[in-house]
Amino acid sequence: MSDITIRLIAPSGYPYDPAAMTRGVARLREAGCVVDGLDVLQRTEQRFSGTDAERVADINALATMGTLPDIALVTRGGYGASRLLPHLDYDALRERLADASTLLVGHSDFTALQLALYAKTGLYTFSGPLLADLGAESCSEFTWQHFWDTLTSPASTAAWPATTTNEIDVQGPLWGGNLAVLCSLLGTPYFPQIEGGILFVEDVGEPPFRIERWLYQLHLSGVLGRQRALVLGDFSHCQPSARDNGYDLAAAFAQIRAVAGIPVVGGMPHGHGEQQLTLPFSAPARLRVAGGRAQLDFSGYPHLNRPAPASAVENP
Amino acid sequence: MSDITIRLIAPSGYPYDPAAMTRGVARLREAGCVVDGLDVLQRTEQRFSGTDAERVADINALATMGTLPDIALVTRGGYGASRLLPHLDYDALRERLADASTLLVGHSDFTALQLALYAKTGLYTFSGPLLADLGAESCSEFTWQHFWDTLTSPASTAAWPATTTNEIDVQGPLWGGNLAVLCSLLGTPYFPQIEGGILFVEDVGEPPFRIERWLYQLHLSGVLGRQRALVLGDFSHCQPSARDNGYDLAAAFAQIRAVAGIPVVGGMPHGHGEQQLTLPFSAPARLRVAGGRAQLDFSGYPHLNRPAPASAVENP
C-alpha cells in the first residue's frame, strides 16, 4: 500500500460516463491509493457537477478540512469553473495550502481554476489527467506513469519529436492549459501576469480559425510576446470545413509562427488526446529543441515524498 | 437616382456564395446606388477574402482615396479581421474620416474592426447588414428599411417585444456586436473602454455553455458591471446538446441575469437571423422597457444628407 490519499473534486461537468469514474477510482485503489470524496460523482445540476455552491465548497473545503489529502483530483472537464472564480476563498486557501503538499491535478476546464489560483494566491497546481482520463477504457500507460513520476519527484521531464528545425534553449516558468479556457479569462483579474514563461496550450474539437483567433488574442494582448516560447500540445479533432478552402491547422500555426515573435514548438503529447503529461503550473522549466527532439525539464514544485505506486495501469 | 456611392470592403471571409454578392450589388444598383470596389469579390486566399495586405489595404485606402464613398459596405463575415488590426493606419484614418460622412457598415467578424477603430480613433461605424445579407435570397424588407432609415437620418429607433417585465429607462453610448468576436479582443488594446453604455451582443451556431462563458468573461472583466444595460440580440442555432442535461440558452441567460448587476433585455431583432437593425457604434442612445415593449432610440451619429432610395427590396 502506498497509502497516498486522493480526494475527488468536481468543479465542472457532471459525470456523463459514470463507468469511467468507477474504473478510475478502482485503478487508483488497486494501486494502493485511498480515494475519498466519491459523493461528488453523484451530483448533477443541469450540465454541471452540482450547484455552484457545492462545486465551490469542494475547493474551499481544502482550506478548512482537518487532514489534507495528498492529491485533490478533478473528476472531469466540461464547463462551469468560471462561475466559481468570484466565490473561492483565496486568502484561506493560500494560508492553508502554501506550505502543504496537497497537489491539485486536472486539465481542460480546470485550467480556469489553475489560472485563478495562481493569479490570486501563487499556489502550484498541476495540468494532468482527470479521473475520467485515468478511468478511460484504455488508460495510457504513458499518462499513468508520467502522473506518478511528476507527483512523486522533485523534478521531471518530457520529450517528444520536435516540429521545428530551429535550435532552442530557453528557461522560464511553465504555464498554460486549455486554449479556449485560458483565453476566456483574458481581461479578467483571474488571468495571471507571467513574464518570460514557457506557455503551453492545447484544445479539442475546434475548427482551425478559432484556434488562430485565440492565439491571436494572446498575441494582440501582448501575452505571447512576453513569453520565452509557445508550446503547442494536442489539437485533437480540429479539422477544417469544406468552406475553409485549404486553410487548416497547419496554416493557422504558420500564421502564428510568423507573428508571435517567440519560438513556437509543436507536438507536445498533452491535451485531450490519449496521452497526457503532468505539468506543474508555474514551476521553473527549461525547454530545449535540437536535432529534431524537444525536451522539457521542470523542477522546484511541491511533490509527494512517497514512492509512486508500484502497479501500472491495469483493467481492474 | 439617389446617387449614393457604395464601396465594397472585404476584411474577412471570401464569398463562398457569389450569387448572394451579385444579388446584393444588383439590389443596391436597382435602388439607384453607385456600387464600386467589386474587385474584392474576386479575391480568395485560403478562407480569406484576399491576403492580409489586400484586406488591410481596403480599409487604409479610405484614408487616401480622392473621393470618399458615402458608404463602405462589408461583403461578409467569417474570420480574418483580427489579423488586420495591427496594420491599420489609425492616425490617417482618423484624420481623413473624422469630419467626413463615410459610413462603414457591417457586422459579425466586422465587430473586430468596429472595436479597434473606436478604441484607436473614436470613429463611428455601423453594426448593420453585410452585402451578403442585402443579397440574401429573400432579403428582409425590415432589414433594408432600417438600414436606410438609420443611415439617412440624424436619429433612428428600434422597438421589439421585451423579454423582461422590469421597467427600464437608461441612457448611454450604444455599442456591441458579435459576442465571440467582442470577447476575442478582451485584454487587447483594441477593446474600447466604454463606461455607462448600452451593450448589445448576438451570436450564431454556438452551444449555450459558450455563450455563457463569453458573457462571464464580460462579467468577470468588469465590462458588464460598467454598463447601464445589456441587450441580447439573436442567438440563432444555439441549441444545447444531449449531454447538456436540460441546460439551455434560457438557463445561461438566467445565470447572467443573476450575476450581471445591470438590467438584461432580450429579444432585440439583430444578429445572424433574418432581421437586422442598423446601429451606430458609440452613438448616444436611450433604452426604455415598459409594458412588455422595448424601445431603443439613438441619434447624434454621422449620416447621409440624402434621401433614402425610394425602391424597397425587390428581386432584381
Q: What is the pLDDT of residue A308?
A: 87
Do B5-139 and B157-299 have matching folds? no
Tell me if B247 and A46 make a contact (CB, 8 A cut-off). Answer: yes
Q: Does A295 touch chain B (CB under 8 A)?
A: no
A108 is catalytic: yes
Q: B279 pairs with which residues across the strands?
A: B127
Fold of B157-299: Glucose Oxidase; domain 1 (3.50.30)
Active site residue A156: no
Separation in Å, CA of A108 to nearest CA in chain B: 14
Closest Cα to residue B268, out of B255, B278, B258? B278
CB B107, CB B129: distance < 8 Å? yes
Between chains, do A82 and B213 touch, taking CB under 8 Å as contact? yes
pLDDT of residue A274: 87
Residue B2 has pLDDT above 70, yes or no: no
According to DSSP, the β-strands at B284-290 and B293-299 are antiparallel
Half-sphere exposure of B274 (CA within 13 A, CB side): 6
List, in sequence order, every residue forming a beta bridge with B287; answer none if it has no partner. Answer: B170, B296
Considering only CB atoms, which chain B residues are within 8 Å of A191?
A: 187
Q: Residue length, chain B?
A: 316
CATH topology (fold) of B5-139: Rossmann fold (3.40.50)
Kindly report, residue by residue over A6-19, the tens digit of the pLDDT. Answer: 999 999 999 999 99
CA distances from B132 to A56, A189, B52, B144 (A): 46, 39, 21, 12
- Any idea where the domains of chain A sit in the sequence? 5-139, 157-299
Which of B46, B187, B245 minimises the CB distance to A46?
Answer: B245
Q: What is the pLDDT of residues A90-136, one digit of tens each?
A: 999 999 999 888 999 999 999 999 999 999 999 999 999 999 999 99
Name residues 31-50 of chain A within 8 A of B (Cβ).
Answer: 44, 46-48
Of B47, B189, B246, the CB nearest to A245: B47
**pLDDT value at A312 more than 80:** no
Tell me the chain B residues in contact with residue A48 when contact means C-beta distances shorter than 8 Å: 247
Collect all residues of chain A within an 8 Å Cβ-Cβ radius of residue B187.
186-187, 191, 217, 221, 223
CA atoms within 13 A on the CB side of A42: 3
Q: Please judge whether B243 and A214 are an interchain contact, meaning their C-beta atoms are less than 8 angstroms apart.
A: no
Greater confidence (B166 vs A127) lies with A127
- The count of other CB atoms within 10 Å of the CB of residue A246 is 10
Task: Tell me, yes or no, if B193 comes closer than 8 A to chain A by beta carbon.
Answer: no
Give the angle subtended at the CA of B209 by the CAs of B207 and B210, to the nearest 5°.
70
CB A145 within 8 A of CB A311: no
Instruction: Confirm or reject contact between B221 and chain A (CB < 8 A).
Output: yes
Shortest CA gap B287–chain A (Å): 27
Residue A316 in this model has a pLDDT that exceeds 80: no
Is the model more confident about B75 or about B313?
A: B75
Q: Give residue-wise pLDDT tens across range A217-253.
A: 999 999 999 999 999 999 999 999 999 999 999 999 9
